Chains A and B, each alone.
Chain A
């Protein structure tokens, strides 16, 4: 250090400022002198209003000033010359041109405060980063006991959901609609709970069941059906951005093991795993297991598979090209997408803006973004990257792997010995080149055949390679340095950041504390600490977690959520249309030990759900913005429900569960189809849509046209478009044509050969009802006309084909495509 130089500057300052520190008898406290100066001259840009805050610097308190902004601490106590704040003031860079300048006296006070150690009055608590308003925003509050309206009047005995809905309806002069007829209810329950339509027999059974509890029985049966997990698992896969390919880069390389996570989701929903546990496993299953261990249980396997959740973000780093800059950008992109998925799926929060600056609307300081990034950074360390293709392990304990390796080695040795013995024998018995020796040739062939047989026997004794599973874990127990990035610039690191959660949700009793991990384990414990923080009973974090999820479930049942902006539970989102109901359901989820089926059950058992969907004669709608729930809100089925229903009605659907995805065929020009052709019978690809391989660059055209989720990086609510491609697909596409033919054959098999019966049967299969008289007349006329047209062109199968055309029209009808 060049001392004379420094003292020269000090001297200059001394001359420049007649009021040096020495003037003050004792150094000022922040609260006595400095705060007032900042308040009048600085807080416009460095105050409470995060939207206006510059350089992330908050000068409202001594502690926030010491913490500093994106360039690090603003003040080094006792060293004004090393304090950024003073340097900016001294060089007159601050306050900026055009703003009110500091007086010499004010500058001297600030200088003296820093020189004196930047003390503050400990008795006054520093102003919170958040206002009370921030903390008590509806979605950030702890769960409140819902205030349920009294269960009174003529229609008492209503469930809490119905009482809350009825209260709102009454306020708008509306009432609950009458219950839908039983056929409609039956179809609604099947499609909603398991994603498939009921067979006519199932409808009949329910309609004829006179037991008052018949509806409850049906609900419970469907909730216990394995198809329940397939239908609702799909919703979860949207939310977490599941895909069978890595995306992002032209290669869009496969994720050959992702399906195990898809099956984990289906199984977890079917077994009604508590929602809090579901999150802990997905965020930190590896930290629960302590892999690698000697033994490997089914539970270990489940928990490790769960961590594939963290791998759902697009990750093109298997194929990164280019230079260090590109590599860094692409690695960060993975980390960022993963964080976006996690925060939106858990909390309905968009935190991406906070990557570059504190969130303009929500109480999310930029520091939070990097604190959260630090939670996941040990697993996705940009400096020490692991490509997705290398993120897998054997689903086996150390003992099993060692045994397999050992046996494998023995077998290899044995095989090598056999081969060597043969080679030696062959060398000794090599036929001469000029004289053919048929006897020797025969012996060689026999020996070779024996060798193949022996080798096959050795291979057969060798145990199969253990299963592989794709997972996520920290790369080391050592804690990496994570920096805040100034303005989000990857190459401009700011101060170091400690791992932490969303700070607006932190409260006494729920801070994120990281337990030391057992020796020998390779994780930092950060993710487990975060998961525990997020799911702590009765905490603000858990309250938001519950609100977001019950809204999602409501959305799944009614086609619209209670929060109009499911991707945004923050300040710039829209408030819930039925806040008390949302609060009630969130409470109910926590009270049910986080078991989701209880919420599904309460919803579908409510009168609100059981209402008729058709328009009441009055046609009254209180407010077009908000669903009044004075009828069941009819809505179009989603892409998977449509395809699965078509296959089911045609009698083609194969209900095999799980396993590697079904492969599609690319016909070029973005026509991605399944391999079954127009004229094929039942085909191995006729499985539920959930199992079709989702390659980001090649989405199945049928599903895409009906608004399948596009995981870029995830999808919190799908669009519901109406485009002509849908009509063309249903009228002329290979699936419709093939399914319609099988549907027609099914009708012919199941009913007498008379057009009225055929039409009725087709209605029952597709729509769970019988045709009206006028519909019947129209359809009979249609069959006659179509048949005649085919006879006219000498088609020998005119009758069957006419019926197939009719079936195709039913499958394209709005009623078939709609949940009502």
Chain B
């Protein structure tokens, strides 16, 4: 234990880690695949050492993140606040911390949407989410999340990387770094975002930060060519490409004999070979035409309102089945970041709900039916929530003090509502859960101790949760 909690620098250890980092930087995940496929990478073995985690089989080996950009309004979707009606039209007692200035006229505004109980658990959902409500018994609803900043970028980074600053690896990158790949021919960390839109903070949403670049998310397009430059240039047939690859390998093998000490050359040779075959594998994994009409219908693909989000949800399931470790699905652009309803809130939230609800629910149901939920986690979360007061005429501003997320599978306790908020849905009153605690819990379900999963960077052992400063721990009550 204390071996990893360094009171001061331990040069031998640091050197060893630096060398692990070198190895990692010099070889791609694809080239490394033969050694790390279906097992923890050397790096992960180092950190979750000596069978520390071997006393139980990790309940999760893969994960889908359904990221809800913009900040979904908890009091309109998940967290009913009938008491708010009493205060309708009155200023909020004690005021609110709003993101935008000059909201002097901010008055309490109850949700117009009806809530009802669902499933055997009686979990409450609003009428905006009929499909997710149907998954109530597969879901853990966390109503007591809170975050540290009220701006989108900061809160996005805080969720993805543990801090609001730039330059840190996302949780997907950490998991990939720790656990490696499960299919040598596919990227272990895939990003599926609206192909027509760059969502806020762009590439930082799947950055490997200070981890080696091979652990960053690989965006695959959900329309057209899945990966850039997969298509052969015009005039080049696949037979010709085979000849090209053959000559390239011949030249490289000849070159290799002169540099027998450079193992990175092998990695490049392997990657070239892979470049010839990866197309088939990616295309196969992403090919939703293989799905039955019933399945596609379940995801709502025939409804225009589900946009391309439905396709991405279905692709996410296929990618998990093909051995991808972590799929980050981002939602469709609908007037910018979909849930960021600073104006015309009631109309927009209905539209966004219709886009997101059915495909999200279908993914969970589909995964349960196929047994995937037994070792996979689905997390439905945004960067923060929204305020119980109106912004301007008909909007809602950001609320970092309380918001709701849904988790399914991976050993999370199904049918449970965890934590609660005050009468306004403004602040957490029971079981507050920080993002760091959520991270620690998620890592735990992958068999990883969050305070041991570290990487040396600029003189520190960096980690996702920064436990020696934050002191966070996994929240066991959330788990089965």
Q: Which residues of A contact B (CB under 8 A)?
A: 51, 248-250, 314, 321-326, 329, 333, 344, 350, 352-353, 360-362, 564-565, 567-568, 570-575, 613-615, 619, 621, 624-625, 634, 636, 668-671, 678, 697, 699, 701, 707, 712-713, 719-729, 731-733, 737, 772, 774-775, 778-779, 782, 785-786, 789-790, 793, 795, 801, 805-806, 808-810, 812-815, 817, 820
Contact = CB atoms under 8 A, between A and B. Distances in A.
B221 A707 contact: no
A636 B271 CA distance: 15
A321 B28 contact: no
Given A574-B18, A723-B214, A724-B274, A805 B227 contact: no
Contact of A724 (B101, B232, B265, B271): B271
A630 to B, nearest CB: 10
A572 B260 contact: no
Contact of A722 (B241, B245, B271): B271
Nearest to B457: A567
Contacts of A567: 458-459
B159 to A, nearest CB: 16
B15 A619 contact: no
Contacts of B268: 722, 726-727, 814, 817
Given A574-B14, A774-B254, A775-B254, A727 B459 contact: no
B237 A722 contact: no
Contact of A322 (B100, B219, B233, B460): B100
8 contacts: A323-B101, A621-B261, A625-B15, A668-B196, A719-B213, A722-B26, A723-B214, A786-B240
B62 to A, nearest CB: 21
Contact of B251 (A614, A636, A815): A815
Contact of B18 (A323, A329, A564): A564
Contacts of B201: 250
For the complex of A and B, the 10 pairs showing the least CB-CB separation, nearest first, are: A727-B275, A572-B459, A728-B229, A712-B167, A614-B258, A350-B458, A732-B229, A722-B267, A722-B28, A721-B213
Interface string B39-68: 000000000000000000000000000000
A350 B459 contact: yes
Contacts of A813: 248, 251-252, 255
B19 interface: yes
A323 B459 contact: no
Contacts of B9: 361, 571-572
Contact of B278 (A671, A724, A801, A808): A724
Contact of B219 (A568, A624, A669, A815): A669
B261 A723 contact: no
A636 B264 contact: yes
A191 to B, nearest CB: 16
Interface string B217-249: 011010000011111111111011101111110
A724 B239 CA distance: 20
Contact of A786 (B152, B213, B233, B243): B243
Contacts of A669: 193, 195, 219, 221
Contacts of A806: 247
A615 B260 contact: yes
B258 A574 contact: no
A322 B99 contact: yes
B8 interface: yes
Interface of B: 7-9, 11, 14-15, 18-19, 25-31, 97-101, 149-154, 165-167, 193, 195-196, 198, 200-203, 212-214, 218-219, 221, 227-237, 239-241, 243-248, 250-252, 254-256, 258-262, 264-265, 267-269, 271-272, 274-275, 278, 458-460
Contact of B230 (A565, A668, A732, A809): A732
Contact of A720 (B25, B154, B248, B258): B25
A634 B254 contact: no
A731 B202 contact: no
Contacts, number: 226
A444 B138 CA distance: 81
A614 B259 CA distance: 5
Contacts of A249: 153
A571 B460 CA distance: 11
Contact of A250 (B31, B200, B240): B200
A321 B100 contact: yes
A697 B229 contact: no
A725 B262 CA distance: 21
A726 B236 CA distance: 19
Contact of B153 (A250, A344, A668, A775): A250
B227 to A, nearest CB: 7
B225 to A, nearest CB: 9
Contact of B231 (A329, A572, A732, A809): A732
A585 B194 CA distance: 52
A697 to B, nearest CB: 5
A249 B200 CA distance: 9
B401 to A, nearest CB: 13
B271 A727 contact: yes
B244 A726 contact: no
Contacts of A725: 218, 227-229
Contacts of B458: 344, 350, 352, 567-568
B153 A248 contact: yes
A697 B203 contact: yes
Given A723-B271, A786-B240, A323 B99 contact: yes
Given A250-B201, A728-B228, A805-B244, A814 B252 contact: yes
Contacts of B256: 814
A720 B26 contact: yes
B213 A361 contact: no
Contact of A775 (B232, B233, B251): B251
Contact of A570 (B193, B236, B267, B459): B459
Contacts of B250: 778
Given A572-B459, A621-B261, A668-B196, A728 B241 contact: no
B387 to A, nearest CB: 13
A634 B255 CA distance: 12
A575 B151 CA distance: 41
A119 B45 CA distance: 57
Given A670-B203, A720-B25, A732-B229, A789 B219 contact: no
B165 to A, nearest CB: 8
B459 A722 contact: no
A187 to B, nearest CB: 14
Nearest to B214: A721
Given A731-B229, A786-B243, A793-B237, 7 more contacts: A321-B100, A333-B165, A574-B11, A574-B14, A723-B214, A723-B271, A809-B247
